[in-house]
């Protein structure tokens, strides 16, 4: 099995595909860790707990993800649903952090 991470176009077998998927999942996890780090920062910075949930910002983030997905020829509706779940999880995490920092 090839130990380098293949580009999708250069995959020759399912072992290559799995290596690429697993590596991509690790990269996504690192990006999610950074994103949730920003939620910790927001919890620290925001003085008012009621400002954690911002429906206008949520809609903007989801629309940005949908548009970016569509520009990349990815399924925009599916990506928007993933981002909705991501944003909701981020809000819940930020609320927990906000409470933890002030307990």
Binding residues, as ranges, are: 18, 35, 46, 94
3-class SS of residue 7: coil
Q: How far are the Cα atoms of 36, 56, 62, 90 from residue 33, in angstroms, in the given order?
A: 5, 24, 19, 11
Return binding residues for substrate: 18, 35, 46, 94
CA 64 and chain centroid, separation: 13
- Under 8 Å between Cβ of 85 and 32: no
């Amino acid at each position: 099995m090839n130990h380098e991470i293949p580009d999708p176009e250069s995959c020759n077998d399912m072992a290559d595909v799995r290596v690429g998927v697993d590596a991509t999942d690790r990269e996504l996890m690192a990006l999610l860790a950074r994103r949730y780090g920003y939620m910790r920062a927001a919890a620290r910075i925001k003085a008012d707990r009621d400002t954690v949930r911002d429906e206008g910002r949520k809609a903007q983030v989801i629309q940005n993800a949908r548009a970016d997905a569509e520009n990349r020829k990815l399924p925009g509706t599916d990506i928007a649903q993933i981002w909705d779940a991501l944003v909701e999880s981020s809000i819940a995490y930020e609320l927990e952090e906000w409470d933890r920092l002030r307990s």
